Amino acid sequence: MTTPALLAISHGTSSPEGQAAVAALVAAVAQRLPDVTVRLGHVDVQQPDVAASLDALPDDQPVVIVPLLLSAGYHVRVDLKKQSAGREGVTIAPALGPDPRLADQLAARLAQLDPDPASAVVLAVAGSSDDRANDDCRAVGAMLAERLGRPVEVGFLAAAEPRLGAAVAHVQDTAGAAVVANYLLAPGYFHDLAVRVSGDSAVVRPLLDDDEPAASLVDIVIDRYRSAIPA
C-alpha cells in the first residue's frame, strides 16, 4: 500500500504571524515524518484551499486530512467532507482536541505568564455554532482545571455563551484579578479579539506563536494521522 500523504488543513488566517506559526507546526511534522508527503492547506481565508491541495497530489495517492482545528465543529463535520468529496482515497482524521496534551500546553503557557496559583483562570475559546464543538472546548477546560488544581471558567469569543468579556468580568467580581488562558491555535483575529475584550486581564499566548512548536502538538498531529490510516 502506498503511504498516505498527510494533508494538514488549518482554518486559515490573514495574520502573517498566525500563518508563520501554523507553517512551523507543519514543518515540524514533516521533519518527524521524512517518509511521508506532508502538505498544508486551508479550509478558509488562505490558499491553497482543500480542493487545490488535493489536486496538487498524485491522483492515486491516498490522503489523510488532519484538521488543525481544536474541536470538531462545522469545518470538520461539513466543510472538509464537502470539499474533499470529489477525490477517492481521502480519510478525514479527528480534530486535535479534546486532548490532555493540549491542557498540558495551556498550563505551560499559563506558567510563563502567571505563576500565581491563586489567580482566577478563564479559558478563551473561539466558539462554534455546533455545540458539540463547544463541548469539546469545555472538556479541555475541565482538563486544564484538573491539571491546575483550580477552577477554570470558559469564555467564548463568538457563537456561544458566556462570552469571554462576561466570563472575565464574572471572575474578577468574585476572585479579583483574572488571567486568560488562550485556547486558540495561533495568532490572528480571535487572539486580537481576546486581548481587546479581556480588558486589563493578562492574556496568555496562543498554543502556537513565534517560538518552536511544542513537541506535544507535533505528537498530536502525527497521532491523528496514524490513527486515521486505513487498515
Q: What is the largest CA-CA distance in the chain?
A: 59
Query: How many Å separate Cα 37 from the centre of its chain?
Result: 22
Q: Residue 130 to residues 68, 133, 176: CA-CA distances in angstroms?
A: 17, 6, 32
Distance, CA of 16 to CA of 192 (rounded, Å): 13
CA-closest candidate to residue 152, choices 131, 175, 132: 175
Contact 26, 38 (CB under 8 A): yes
Q: Which pLDDT belongs to residue 176?
A: 80
Structural domains of the chain, ranges and CATH numbers in brackets = 5-96+211-228 (3.40.50.1400), 100-203 (3.40.50)
Cell output for 96: 486535535
Closest C-alpha among 124, 116, 72, 119 to residue 93: 72
* Ranges of the chain whose pLDDT falls below 50: none
* Residue written as grid cell 481521502: 90
